[in-house]
Structure 1
Amino acid sequence: ALLSLAAGHFAARRLRERVEAVNATFAAVRAGRIAARAPDAGTSDELAELAANTNAALDQVERLIEAQRHVSDQTAHEIRTPLMHLDTRILKAIEATDDPVLLRTLDQSRAEIRGVVRLLDSLLDIAGTQAMRGDLRGLADISLSDIAESLADLYGASAEELGIGFHARIAPGIHMRGDAMQMTRLLSNLLDNAFKYVPSGGSVVLELAPGPRMAVQDDGPGIPCADRERVFERYVRLDGARGQGHGLGLALARAIAERHHLSLHVEDAEPGARFVVRPEERDA
C-alpha cells in the first residue's frame, strides 16, 4: 500500500509539473515572450501531444504576426512611393510656371498629397502598434524623465509663440521598459491635442511621477462625459480644434499605451481636460 501511495504521489506530481509547464508557456507568450514554447518531455503520451499542438499553434501565431508586419510595411511602401513621385512632379510643375492661379492649385495638391501620406502613416502606426501589444521585442530600459524633459523644452518654446502658459513638473530618474520613440510619440500626441484646444492666454501642464504616471492637462473647453471614450476612436475630432488633422492622434496614443501595459483615459480638469497615463490594473 505504501509503495502504491508513493508511486501515485510521484505520478501526480509529474503530471502536475508537465501541465504547469504548458500553462507557463502560455503565460510567457501573454507577457510578450512570443518565442516561448512548451518543453518536450521526450514521451509519446497525451500530454506530449498537447505540448506539440501548443507549440504548433504558437508557431502559427508568430508567423501571422510576422506576416502582418510584412504586409503593413509593403503596403506602406507601395502606396507612399507613387504619392511621393507625384509630389515631385507637382514640384517641378510649380518651378516651371508663374501663373498664380495654377501655383495656388498645385500648392493645394501638394498639401493634400502630404495629408494622405500622413494619414497612411498614422493608420499603419496604429495597426502595427496594436499588433505588437504584449510583444517585448524591441523594448529596452528607457528614461521617461529624459524624454519628458526634451519635450518640455520643445513645447515650451512653441507655447511662448502662441501666448500659452506651459508648465512641466517632471520627477527625475523615472525609467521603464519600453520603446523610446513610441513613448515620445505618445506624450507629443497628448501635448499636440492640448495645444489644439487651449485658447490663447490659457495653460498646459505636463506631469511625470513615479509609477510611471504621466498627465497632460489644459484649461480649454474640456471634453463632455459622453465623448471621453469616443475621443480615442479613429477619425474623431471635437469642435474647436486649432489646425487640421485626421483625428488619429489619440487613437495612436492609446494603442502605444496598451502596448506598454499602460492605460490612457481622460478626466475633467475643471476647467479643461486631463489625460492620464498609468499602469494597467492587473486582474487578481
Structure 2
Amino acid sequence: MPAEILDMVEAINDALGRLEDALEAERAFTAEAAHALRTPLAVLSARVAQLRDLPGAQPLRDDVARLTRLVEQMLSAAQADTLVVDPAMQSDLAAIARSVVADMAPIAIAAGRQIAYEGPDACPVMGDADAIAHAMRNLADNGLRFTPAGTEVTLTVEGTGRLSVRDHGPGIPASHRDTVFKRFWRGAASDLGGTGLGLAIVKRIAEAHQAEVGISDAAGGGALVSLQFHRPPSALPPDRGLLPGLRREAAGQPA
C-alpha cells in the first residue's frame, strides 16, 4: 500500500480515537456532574420543604423538583450510554409492563389521568428487564405529561414482542419524529416540566437491545410509540394480536 495512503489511514484512525476519547470524557463528566449535584439538591429540597406555606415557597419547590429530575435523567443517560446487554438474557415483557403500570398508577391518579396495561399474561423477549422497565417508565411518563386530564395512557404488549405506549395528546408531527430522540430536545414539553432526555434514553436502551423504535399517530388521536424486541429462539410461535385471554389492568378509572 502506498505510503501516502498508509499515512491517511493512520490519521483517520487517530482522529477516530480522539473522537472516542472525547465522547467517553463527555459521558464521564456528565455522570460525575450529576453525582456531585445529587447531595446539594437533596439538602436544598429538604430545606425548601421546611418553608411550607411561606410566600413563594411553592415555585421554589417546583424548581428544585425539576432540577432533581434533570440530574436523575442525566445519570440515567450516562448509564444508558454504557449499557451492554447480555445476548443470552431473557425477560418477560408483559410482566415488566404490568409492573410499570402498577408503579406509575399513583402518579397517574394524582394527575387526574388513567394508566392501563393490555396484553397477554407473559411475553418472553431477549433483553435486560431493568433497562426495558426504565425505557417503559420514560415512555409512560412522557405520555402522562401530554395526555389530557381524564384520558388514559395505555401500555400494550403483543405476542410478537412489541410494546406500544399510546396517549391522547396532540401527537408528534412527522417532521419531529427523529428530532424527539435527540438529547435536550423538548419541544412542547418545555412547558410541561420535561428534561428533554427521556426519549433519548429510550432510544439508547432500544439500540442496546437492537430493538426497533417507531412513532405513529394513534387511532382517534394522540401519539403511539412502539418498541419491537427480539423473541427468544425457543419461544413458541407468537400470539398474533390481542386475542381471547387478553389481560387488561387499569388504574385511575372513574368510579
TM-score class, shorter: 0.5 to 0.7
- Note the residue ranges of structure 1 that are not aligned, 5 or more in a row: 1-60
In the alignment, which residue of structure 1 is the partner of 2:153? 204
1:70-81 matches, cutoff 5 A: 75=29, 78-80=32-34
Whose Rg is larger? 1
1:265-280 matches, cutoff 5 A: 265-270=214-219, 271-279=221-229
Partner residue of 2:188 out of 236, 239, 242: 239
1:104-115 matches, cutoff 5 A: 111=65, 114-115=68-69
- Note the residue ranges of structure 2 that are not aligned, 5 or more in a row: 1-16, 231-255
| CA apart distance, 1:276 | 1.1
1:136 equivalent in alignment to 2:86: yes
| CA apart distance, 1:141 | 2.1
How far apart, CA to CA, are the structure 2 residues paired with 1:96 and 1:210? 50
Partner residue of 2:133 out of 170, 184, 197: 184
1:123 equivalent in alignment to 2:77: yes
Identity %: 24
How far apart, CA to CA, are the structure 1 residues paired with 2:129 and 2:157? 15
Instruction: Deviation per CA, 1:84-104: give whole Å up to 9, x if none.
Output: 454476579779999x68988
Instruction: Deviation per CA, 1:131-168: give whole Å up to 9, x if none.
Output: x3xx527x622222211111122233433333323332
Contact residue 35 and residue 75 of structure 2 kept, 8 A:
no
Instruction: Deviation per CA, 1:24-68: give whole Å up to 9, x if none.
Output: xxxxxxxxxxxxxxxxxxxxxxxxxxxxxxxxxxxxx9xx99xx5
- The structure showing larger relative contact order (alpha-carbon pairs under 8 Å, at least 6 residues apart) is 2
1:248-267 matches, cutoff 5 A: 248-267=197-216
| CA apart distance, 1:196 | 0.5
How far apart, CA to CA, are the structure 1 residues paired with 2:129 and 2:80? 16
TM-score, normalised to structure 2, is: 0.66
CA RMSD of the aligned region, Å?
3.7
Instruction: Deviation per CA, 1:256-282: give whole Å up to 9, x if none.
Output: 1111111111001141110111147xx
How far apart, CA to CA, are the structure 1 residues paired with 2:50 and 2:137? 38
SS of the residue 2:91 aligns to: strand
Q: Which amino acid aligns with 1:136?
A: D
Contact residue 140 and residue 179 of structure 1 kept, 8 A:
yes
Instruction: Deviation per CA, 1:180-235: give whole Å up to 9, x if none.
Output: 11000011111111101001122221100112011001111111111111111111
Q: Mark the CA change 1:248 to 1:170 in structure 2 (over 3 Å): closer, same or farther.
A: same
| CA apart distance, 1:122 | 3.3
1:167 equivalent in alignment to 2:116: yes
| CA apart distance, 1:80 | 4.4
In the alignment, which residue of structure 1 is the partner of 2:176? 227
How far apart, CA to CA, are the structure 1 residues paired with 2:109 and 2:195? 26
How far apart, CA to CA, are the structure 2 residues paired with 1:95 and 1:192? 24
Q: Mark the CA change 1:158 to 1:120 in structure 2 (over 3 Å): closer, same or farther.
A: closer
Q: Which amino acid aligns with 2:33?
A: I
Contact residue 142 and residue 177 of structure 1 kept, 8 A:
yes
How far apart, CA to CA, are the structure 2 residues paired with 1:113 and 1:158? 19
| CA apart distance, 1:238 | 2.4
SS of the residue 1:125 aligns to: helix
SS of the residue 1:239 aligns to: helix
Contact residue 220 and residue 273 of structure 1 kept, 8 A:
yes
Select the structure that is richer in helix.
1
TM-score, normalised to structure 1, is: 0.60
| CA apart distance, 1:177 | 2.5
Count of equivalent residues: 210
